[in-house]
Amino acid sequence: MLKVDKETFKKDYEEKFIEIHGKDLSDGTDYNKYEALASLTRDYVVKMWISTNKNYNFTGEKQVYYFSMEFLLGRLLGNALLNLGIRDVCKEALSDFNIDLNKLEALEQDQGLGNGGLGRLAACFLDSMASLNIPGHGCGIRYKYGFFEQKIINGMQIETQDDWLKNNNVWEIKKPDKAQIVKFGGQVNTISENGNLKFVHTGYEAVLAVPYDVPIIGYENNIVNNLRLWSAEPLYDEFDFSSFSRGEYLKALEYKNSVEAISQVLYPDDSVYEGKRLRLKQQYFFVSAGIQSIIRHFKVYGKAPLNDLDEKIAIHINDTHPTLAIPELMRILMDEEGYGWDEAWRITTNTMSYTNHTILSEALEKWPIDMFKKLLPRIYMIIEEINRRFCEELWNKYIGQWDKISKMAIIADGYVKMAHLAIVGSHSVNGVAKLHTEILKKQEMKDFYYFYPNKFNNKTNGITHRRWLIKANPQLTTLIKDTIGDSFIKHPTDMEAFERYASDKEVQQRLHEIKISNKKRFAEYLKEKQDISINPDSLFDVQVKRIHAYKRQILNCLRIMELYRKLIENPNLDIVPKTFIFAGKAAPGYHLAKKTIELINAVANKINNDPRVNEKIKVVFVENYKVSVAELIVPAADLSEQISTTTKEASGTSNMKFMMNGAVTIATLDGANIEIRDEVGDDNIIIFGLTEREVLDYYHKGGYSAWDMVNRDYRIKQVTEDTINGFYCSDKERFRAIYENLVTYNDEFFVLKDFDSYLKAQERADNLYKNFPKWQSMCAVNIAHSGIFSSDRTIQEYATGIWGSGYLYKNL
Ligand code: 26Q
């Protein structure tokens, strides 16, 4: 742990300030002060970073590399101070200068290099690996523009670019000497040399991959791991300079632009796959650079021959996006290191493991063969050979069953299927919650499960309690410490002891006060950002996540519309005053999701301007949802909406964040909601909706009619018609797409089917909330049982069950 006392810190800080700004602290702007603090913090970190690295090189212990297209880190300063163990000292030191630490922290740009759950999970995992002394590093892309910024104008989402690098980023260090060359296009010729086949790649376009390293700090353990993000730069060595002299200035510019495009922008889709060539280029770009740099480092420092690579290195691929790591490692081992196929394949499959994050079939990546072959000719040849050998194995087992074989093939129907490649080329395939893994095994990947039963396993997701509890909710952290001590910080499942206080009057009162104070903090944010006032004494009913049909923001919205109708009819209705809070981004090309945002805003506009109901309900859509906004909303929530169509949400992770902060969950039995229910018990969660069986039966056997729902239930008729009868918007056509989706196209996600059950569940929530001791005790039980959803538990399971790394593994 870093040892710095207050006086030393003050001295260091003032010196740092003068050094980087060339003026006195008293003349600095708040942003100047933030920069000095971040920069000083980085100085503290750098020494540990170097020593951690030296230590890894010295001991030669197994290194884990987590490959991901996305790392949604959010802000780094606050967590850096927390993990270094100097946040309190820093806070006091700064307050001697009359500086408010929280205010400086809020000036940091979010590092938003991810879409949502998958990217944030990668960030939580890095935090946990470092905190558990696991040598685990991230590998990804340094997008110039992160996930777009969302503005709401006239109720509609407008996207603008996230220029997060416009002010210099203190958290990264560029390492030009560690750059790698990545090759695209060209031809591969096969020649025979001393009886061996050699593959000669010519006519390719070379791109320079330049790494930027970001420190990942462990919690009070002197460990700093590495997140390596690759940026694409033109490689002028390879470029035909004579073209400049010939005046082919445009050609040079074209090359430069096409190279820079590779790491320009994060694709803002989180579930609908599009076969974009640039996306494939991005994938190969970072994967090739990452694997090359791992091998290069291993050859210098690895204390083993390359054929022991799989004992010294584990590479994890986060969904199929980095699957090309498999053929790329094969390529390097064979073409550059001279291994034969069998040995290269043994090393590769033992090194690689893969996580699936989605069962939506439209999200499964596949690439048109022609495009693939042209862009990555040598990699394509290797995949062809992997496929040929795999099909041969299938053939031996399933003689004559051509249907099955072509269904399972890696290359088929004109496409390269990335999930198939990932399964065949890894030794482990995991889902992210129990139900999700079961569905993979029994449905989506059934054939592969029968072929490779031992590869499949579950690793239920988790979240880092350091960011999502200790950092985001300091008052709740203090309460837990006051009651059960602080062992939960290192051992989050120790929070179970908090259950003993669930019915303690004083603790209940404090829980309530803490919630109110977090609600006020969020209300202030909302007032400042969007000039909206909300009442902290109302129940905060929250649904924040990507906007998607399967997540059913529409269901939530329809029941608000129903409640509004009821309130107009009967203004004296006895309900708990509520603030309905929504936030989330829609993929720019996802029409229905964008319409959903518009509908929520139209409903908000009508309700919030109706004096008849203003004392009772209010609807807000929080603009530009991101990690730092989540850190304000999550601790302020009373009710957590986790209402996806059962079987569709692989896990969910905001559900875990909310429970850890003492919100009660209203949920379908989907994803990790099931495990949350198992932990807290039926009395401490509000469950509704179709079961897995019912949903699957409808999908397989049919028999669902949305139209029947409309005709049978006048409330459903009313609220669906309210989307197109001018009640919320004079343009009756504005929400027609939503209406049609529900009624005409038979409601793919069973919104109307679950409507009644959802309304009843909301009524139960209301009654529970009115019972103060009961509600507070539910909150306490949720907090007490949230420890198992710390990503420390998840990472421990990955380390022992998949990677064979880390302290516990070594002591097994
Ligand atoms: C693929 C191809 C082209 C463009 C974009 C994409 C793409 C990008 C991101 C596809 C999927 C994603 C992200 C998926 C995701 O976030 N899934 C979520 O993962 C969480 C962590 O495991 C789960 O908790 C959520 O249930 C799951 O939806």
**Structure tokens of 591?**
């029409």
Predicted local distance difference test score (pLDDT) of residue 50? 98
- Ligand 1 atom nearest 268 alpha carbon: 5
Query: Token pair of 145, please?
Result: 């523009």
Q: Is the dihedral of CA 619, 624, 630, 633 positive or negative?
A: negative
pTM above 0.95, yes or no: yes
User: Does the pLDDT at position 129 exceed 80?
Assistant: yes
- In the predicted model, what is the mean pLDDT of residues 529-543? 98
Reported as a pLDDT band with limits 50, 70 and 90, residue 273 is low
What are the tens digits of pLDDT across the range 324-370? Answer: 999 999 999 999 999 999 999 999 999 999 999 998 877 889 999 99
Distance CA 317, CA 324 (A): 9
Summarised one tens digit per residue, pLDDT across range 237-252 is 655 555 556 667 888 8
pLDDT tens column, 18-27: 999 999 999 9
Q: Do 751 and 562 contact (CB within 8 A), yes or no?
A: no
In angstroms, what is the span from residue 249 Cα to ligand 1's centroid? 41
What the chain holds in terms of domains, given with CATH numbers, is 1-59+81-98 (no CATH), 60-75+110-461+796-803 (3.40.50.2000), 465-482+507-789 (3.40.50.2000)
Q: What is the pLDDT of residue 302?
A: 83
Q: Best substitution site from 358, 359, 435, 647 to test ligand 1's pocket, by max atoms within 8 Å of Cβ?
A: 358
pLDDT at 805 over 90: no
**Cα pseudo-dihedral 554, 559, 563, 568, rounded to 10:** 40
Ligand 1 pocket test, pick from 70, 72, 115 with the greatest ligand atom count within 8 Å of Cβ, gives: 115
Residue 118 CA, ligand 1 centroid: distance in Å: 5
User: Residue 641: pLDDT above 70?
Assistant: yes
Q: Which residues contact 247 (CB under 8 A, 6 or more apart)?
A: none
**Contact between 782 and 659 (Cβ < 8 Å):** yes
CA of 344 to the centre of ligand 1 (A): 30
Residue (of 527, 613, 619) closest to 575 by Cα position: 613
Q: How far is CA 482 from CA 477, 488, 726, in A?
A: 9, 12, 55
Total residue count of the chain as it appears in this document: 812
Residue nearest atom 8 of ligand 1, based on CA coordinates: 270
Query: Half-sphere exposure (CA, 13 Å, Cβ side) for 207?
Result: 28
Environment class of residue 215 by beta-carbon count within 10 Å: exposed (0-12), middle (13-18) or buried (19+)? buried
Phi, psi torsion values for 637, nearest 5 degrees: -85, 140
Residue 196 has what pLDDT?
Answer: 86
**For the residues of 349-394, what is the DSSP string, one character each?**
HHHEEEE-----GGG--EEEHHHHHHH-HHHHHHHHHHHHHHHHHH
What whole-number distance in Å separates Cα of residue 236 and Cα of residue 577? 64
Closest-CA residue, ligand 1 atom 9, reads 270
pLDDT-derived band at 194 (thresholds 50, 70, 90) equals: confident
| Nearest alpha-carbon partner for 217 in 329, 52, 394 | 52
Question: Could you give the residue ranges of the DSSP H alpha helices within 263-335?
Answer: 277-301, 309-312, 325-331
d(CA 698, CA 751): 13
Could you identify the atom of ligand 1 that is nearest to the CA of residue 70? 9
- Residue 616 has a CB neighbour count (10 Å cut-off) of 18
Mean pLDDT of the chain: 96
User: 765 with 778: CB under 8 angstroms?
Assistant: no
Our CA angle for 764, 682, 475, nearest 5°, is 80
Give the CA count within 13 Å in the CB-facing half-sphere of 633: 28
Residue 97 — φ and ψ, nearest 5°?
-90, 10
Locate 503 and state its tokens. Answer: 């019915």
Residue 522, phi-psi category: left (phi > 0), alpha (psi -120 to 50), beta (remainder): alpha
| Atom of ligand 1 at shortest range from CA of 672 | 24
271, 646, 789: which to mutate for ligand 1, most atoms within 8 A of CB? 271
Contact 20, 39 (CB under 8 A): yes
> Cα–Cα distance between 438 and 452 in angstroms, integer?
15
For residues 747-773, give the mean pLDDT. Answer: 98
Question: What's the gap in Å between 153 CA and the centre of ligand 1?
Answer: 27
- Residue 2 pLDDT: 84
Q: Is the pLDDT confidence value at 716 over 90?
A: yes
Nearest partner of 353 among 797, 798, 796, judged by Cα = 798
* CA–CA dist 353, 368 (Å, integer): 24
Question: Which residue, judged by its Cα, is nearest atom 25 of ligand 1?
Answer: 652
Residues designated as active site: 357, 545-546, 551, 653, 657
Cα of 413 vs centre of ligand 1, distance in Å, is 25
User: Residues with Cβ < 8 Å from 398, sequence gap 6 or more?
Assistant: 404, 405
Convert the pLDDT of each residue in 358-408 to its tens digit: 988 778 899 999 999 999 999 999 999 999 999 999 999 999 999 999 999
**pLDDT tens-place string over residues 563-572:** 999 999 999 9
Residue range 416-441, pLDDT digits in tens: 999 999 999 999 999 999 999 999 99
Look at residue 812 in the predicted model and tell me its pLDDT: 47
Quick one: pLDDT at residue 359? 82
Query: In ligand 1, which atom is closest to the CA atom of 652?
Result: 24
For ligand 1, pick from 66, 68, 113, 118 the residue to mutate: most ligand atoms within 8 Å of CB.
118
Ligand 1 pocket (Cβ < 6 Å) reads 115-118, 121, 267, 269-271, 273-274, 279, 357-358, 363, 365, 432, 461, 649-653, 671
Q: How far is it, in rounded angstroms, from Cα 714 to Cα 702?
A: 24
At 681, give phi and psi (nearest 5°). 85, 155
Q: Would the pLDDT of 270 be above 80?
A: no
Identity of residue 753: K
Amino acid at 46: V
